[in-house]
Structure 1
Amino acid sequence: MPQLTDEAVTDDDGGDGGGGPGTWMTPQEYGASRAALWTGAVVLVTDTDGRVLVQSVDYRPDRLLPGGAVDAGEAPAAAAAREVREELGVDGSYPCGLAVDWIPADIPGFPPEMRFPGEILYVYDGGTWSAERIDAIRLPAQEITAVHFAEPADLPGLMDPGDARRALSALRARINGGGPALLEDGRPTVPTALDRLGALRTRRTPFHGTWHSGPAPAALPVREPAAWLFAPDGRVLLLISRSTGAAHLPPPAPGSAPLGHRRAGDAAHPRAVGRLTGPPPAADPQYARLLATPEQVRELADWGPAGHAELAAVHTARTRLGLPSPPRTPLTQLPEDPLHDRPHE
């Protein structure tokens, strides 16, 4: 930072006193030298199926997260709450940030006469809205024409490319639990494992059905058996496809016990539970292996209401095994493999 003086430094100073040429500035000069940027705030809201709330507006064809400009002298979190209230008619406060994005001045889409200087945009966590809260949405007479809940992988087809990157990065940051992401034009400056693997970039397979305790009935055909395999810290093994970013539970390991099954159509999808007593064996190289909390696993899947019942059964089994309830921490990849895990948008 340059040193400030109330008077301009003359040539007689000769650089003595610790300031060389060009390092001393008056307050007016220093103020004029600082970059001017817009400031905005948006809110990321999901429904209970993990879909993202986006708005249709009357002034552009693509969809947006709720939010807008931060007014002069207004805190970004206050602006986020005000914009949601004005656009959706829903009161709330959103103190938890998911991302801070730097949007460059040369980004396309702004008319030249606007002289867009670049923007710092805050993404706040609006949480998961219940059906009752969604029913409380009341749109204004103009500007917002509709709201939709979109599958995360569909965002790039619905939104401006930078907006979609930002929304997906913020959603991954929420699931990851490592704090707000710092972004540049929607791209994380320090990608997490979810960013590197491109989690949620392809549509999640809906797997709703109904949850039932105990083994699957012998009369039903069995499809896609999977297991909740616990590490000593209470987290579980998760597989993410390197080619698609899709998240999967691993197949049952030797010694796994039946937990329950999903019944979908005329088939049963069994779930087992067991311990990871050592490093998991080498798996298909098409999949990255991570440790995640059970909640993180569920948030990367589209399991419908039955997911709540399955998650409760998983925690009951964890307690029976004498394992701790894991706090939400960033997903840990086993092992790191930079040759395979390159960033995806």
Structure 2
Amino acid sequence: MTTTAHPDESPGSSMTDEEYGALRASAALWAGTSVLITDQRGRVLVQHVDYRNTCLLPGGAVGKGESPSRGASRELLEELGITTAVTRSLAVDWVSADTPSTPPAMRFPGEILYVYDSGTWNDQQIASIRLPGHEITAVDLVEPATLNALMAPSDARRALSALRARINAGGPVFLENGLPIAPTVLDRVGILRTARVEHHFPWRPGPVLAGLPVRQCWAWAFAPDGRVLVLLKPDTGAACLPGGTLETQDQGDPVATLMREAAEEAATHLDEPVFLGHLLDPTEPCAHVHFAATLTRLGPVRSALATGQAHARILATPEQAVALFNWGPETAGQLATVHAARERLGIPKAAAQPVTELPGPVTW
């Protein structure tokens, strides 16, 4: 039997099966796996290893005749002592042969690396990790923004791309050297590349105590499909809800602040806001109040008066939104309050879906 050497060659350019097999073998790549694990605060689990000075996600080489998902499960058992099936793929990365972190002696031919999602682990699961007596020296849970400092550049790009794919909920993404070949708005803006602002403040669903100053106000602004408006800063990739800091012209009225800031920063117009509660900041002390509201209209994207920059506007499920913030243990309580308000507003719960960018005017 003969075959063409390449798909675009003419039928007359033929090879034997043995020659064709040798040609394909000469172009073969390694196969490997990585597994993304986060805790309930959105921190990423990384491993310190004894054979390199940068951190890695759990994972390793796929064995001969082994499927990538089985290889990923085996690596979790060998490296972390955890028995679990790995069923959800986040990314497939083509890693070029000239990757700088690979020692020349390995004669690295390039690799196809499968990134799987092991989900969000609770404290009990994390406490059950048992490291082997060699290779893995420690594990850490780190903020996504620190991955660039802890990992080789290509590994950090891959981990962040996989994390964005998980948040986006659009299915597995295809990467080349860690970067998506079809970037989403989350990739383009570069969410999670800078530190999330830490607001580990107690969540209080009731009114603000008398005498406690209100410093800021923010809105969970709902579209009719149950998603909320999130603003992404183009210079840092940081996320925020519509709203901002009380100023003199607002005369101490948080609703006036909310309406003004939403219009100035993102050309956003809201229906009558409903009070949700507040984060109690004990360091000042002060309150950061949160509202729920329905979106009525978005105008054209324009630069914010304070910064001169235009936010990227996206619709995201509330669950996608909280993944972009660092609110600590109080996140679940606030999210429950948000969903209760959504039901009172008669808005359905949003289905899991990719985020949607809103670059132009919209009216609901």
Aligned-pair distance for 1:94? 1.2
Q: Deviations over 1:281-319 (max 9, x none)?
A: 756243111111000110011111111001001111111
Aligned-pair distance for 1:237? 0.5
Distance in 2 (CA, whole Å) between partners of 1:111 and 1:293 is: 43
The corresponding residue for 1:218 is: 210
Aligned-pair distance for 1:29? 1.7
TM-score by length of 2: 0.85
For 2:18, what is the secondary structure of its paired residue? helix
Aligned-pair distance for 1:145? 0.4
The corresponding residue for 1:15 is: none
Q: Deviations over 1:67-105 (max 9, x none)?
A: 100000001000001001100111111110011000001
State which of 173, 177, 183 in structure 2 corresponds to 1:181: 173
Q: Which amino acid in structure 2 is aligned with residue 316 of structure 1?
A: A
Which range moved further: 249-258 or 193-202?
249-258
Distance in 2 (CA, whole Å) between partners of 1:173 and 1:194 is: 9
TM alignment of 1:171-320, pairs within 5 A:
171-251=163-243, 252-253=258-259, 255-265=272-282, 266-279=285-298, 282=301, 284=304, 285-320=309-344
Distance in 2 (CA, whole Å) between partners of 1:282 and 1:222 is: 28
Q: Deviations over 1:226-263 (max 9, x none)?
A: 00010011100101111110010101335212111111
Distance in 2 (CA, whole Å) between partners of 1:80 and 1:225 is: 44
Q: Which amino acid in structure 2 is aligned with residue 88 of structure 1?
A: L
Aligned-pair distance for 1:280? 5.4
Assess if the C-alpha contact under 8 Å between 2:219 and 2:290 holds in 1: yes
Which range moved further: 211-220 or 142-151?
211-220
Which range moved further: 322-331 or 104-113?
104-113
Name stretches of at least 5 consecutive residues in structure 2 with no aligned partner.
244-257, 260-269
Aligned-pair distance for 1:278? 2.6
Aligned-pair distance for 1:25? 2.2
State which of 15, 19, 25 in structure 1 corresponds to 2:15: 25
Assess if the C-alpha contact under 8 Å between 2:154 and 2:178 holds in 1: yes
Distance in 2 (CA, whole Å) between partners of 1:318 and 1:280 is: 24
Assess if the C-alpha contact under 8 Å between 2:36 and 2:159 holds in 1: yes
Aligned-pair distance for 1:19? 5.0
Q: Deviations over 1:32-84 (max 9, x none)?
A: 22221000011000011000000001111100000100000001000001001
Runs (4+) off by over 4 Å:
280-283
Name stretches of at least 5 consecutive residues in structure 1 with no aligned partner.
10-17, 338-345
Q: Which amino acid in structure 2 is aligned with residue 250 of structure 1?
A: P
Q: Which amino acid in structure 1 is aligned with residue 175 of structure 2?
A: L
Distance in 1 (CA, whole Å) between partners of 2:133 and 2:312 is: 48
Distance in 2 (CA, whole Å) between partners of 1:90 and 1:113 is: 32
Q: Which amino acid in structure 2 is aligned with residue 25 of structure 1?
A: M
Distance in 2 (CA, whole Å) between partners of 1:332 and 1:45 is: 25
Assess if the C-alpha contact under 8 Å between 1:85 and 1:91 holds in 2: yes
Which range moved further: 304-313 or 215-224?
215-224
The corresponding residue for 2:106 is: 114
Q: Deviations over 1:168-203 (max 9, x none)?
A: 000000000001110000000000110000100100
Assess if the C-alpha contact under 8 Å between 2:300 and 2:360 holds in 1: no
Distance in 2 (CA, whole Å) between partners of 1:336 and 1:202 is: 26
State which of 315, 334, 337 in structure 1 corresponds to 2:358: 334
Q: Which amino acid in structure 1 is aligned with residue 204 of structure 2?
A: H
Assess if the C-alpha contact under 8 Å between 1:233 and 1:326 holds in 2: yes
Assess if the C-alpha contact under 8 Å between 1:67 and 1:84 holds in 2: yes
Identity %: 55
Distance in 2 (CA, whole Å) between partners of 1:135 and 1:163 is: 25
Distance in 2 (CA, whole Å) between partners of 1:116 and 1:278 is: 54
Assess if the C-alpha contact under 8 Å between 1:293 and 1:328 holds in 2: yes
Distance in 1 (CA, whole Å) between partners of 2:299 and 2:214 is: 25
The corresponding residue for 1:5 is: 2
Alpha-carbon RMSD: 1.9
The corresponding residue for 1:340 is: none
Distance in 2 (CA, whole Å) between partners of 1:81 and 1:134 is: 16
Distance in 2 (CA, whole Å) between partners of 1:30 and 1:133 is: 48
Assess if the C-alpha contact under 8 Å between 2:301 and 2:310 holds in 1: no
Distance in 2 (CA, whole Å) between partners of 1:287 and 1:312 is: 27
Q: Which amino acid in structure 2 is aligned with residue 271 of structure 1?
A: H
Which range moved further: 211-220 or 187-196?
211-220
Q: Which amino acid in structure 2 is aligned with residue 268 of structure 1?
A: A
Distance in 2 (CA, whole Å) between partners of 1:236 and 1:74 is: 42
Q: Which amino acid in structure 2 is aligned with residue 31 of structure 1?
A: G
Q: For residues 256 and 180 of structure 1, do their structure 2 counterparts lie closer, same or farther at Cα, with a shift above 3 Å needed?
A: same
Distance in 2 (CA, whole Å) between partners of 1:224 and 1:78 is: 49
Distance in 2 (CA, whole Å) between partners of 1:87 and 1:180 is: 24
